[in-house]
Amino acid sequence: MGERSYVAGGGKMGFFRRLAWDEPSPTITGRSNRKGSALCHPEQSRPLSVHECARLQGFPDDWHFVGSAAAQYQQIGNAVPVALGMAVGRMMSQYLDGCGEVETRTVDGDASPRRRRSCGTRHVLRRPI
């Protein structure tokens, strides 16, 4: 995918989306090397590494993925971003503790917030070891 392939003639079937340092990343897919879903480093003419995709999803630097490179990309692309998982877990914990709000909607779109009483026992969310 270097500069030579960019200036080469012939049909160009796929493309890479270059990331920007100061903008949100597009969705990390399970097929990072496929046409139209490949992401390019912000400064270098190369696809993102497994480690870089994992960082975009919020995985800690010491997290290890197993399998082939394709399997690792797929594990990262199939994962819920870490921060989103933590936020959902925190809300579920508050709900189970009896605090927080739950909004329900009917089929016609009417919203009715339901308040829960004050917090009881705490459910502690821990990162897996």
Phi, psi of 59 (to 5 degrees): -70, 145
8 Å CB contact between 99 and 117: yes
Domain limits, CATH 3.90.120.10, in the chain: 3-78
Query: pTM, whole model, 2 decimals?
Result: 0.63
8 Å CB contact between 6 and 14: no
Q: Which fold, 3-78?
A: DNA Methylase; Chain A, domain 2 (3.90.120)
Q: Give me the half-sphere count of Cα atoms (radius 13 Å) on the Cβ side of residue 90.
A: 6
CA pair distance 120, 128, nearest whole angstrom: 24
According to the model, what pLDDT value does residue 46 have? 82
According to the model, what pLDDT value does residue 126 have? 56
8 Å CB contact between 47 and 16: yes
According to the model, what pLDDT value does residue 118 have? 47
Q: What are residue 101's DSSP bridge partners?
A: 115
According to the model, what pLDDT value does residue 99 have? 74
Q: What is the pLDDT along the chain (129 residues), one digit of tens a residue?
A: 456 655 555 445 556 788 889 988 888 888 766 666 678 888 888 888 999 999 999 999 999 999 998 899 999 999 999 899 998 888 888 878 877 666 666 666 665 555 444 455 555 555 555
Tokens found for residue 129: 């070891």
According to the model, what pLDDT value does residue 42 have? 87
According to the model, what pLDDT value does residue 117 have? 46
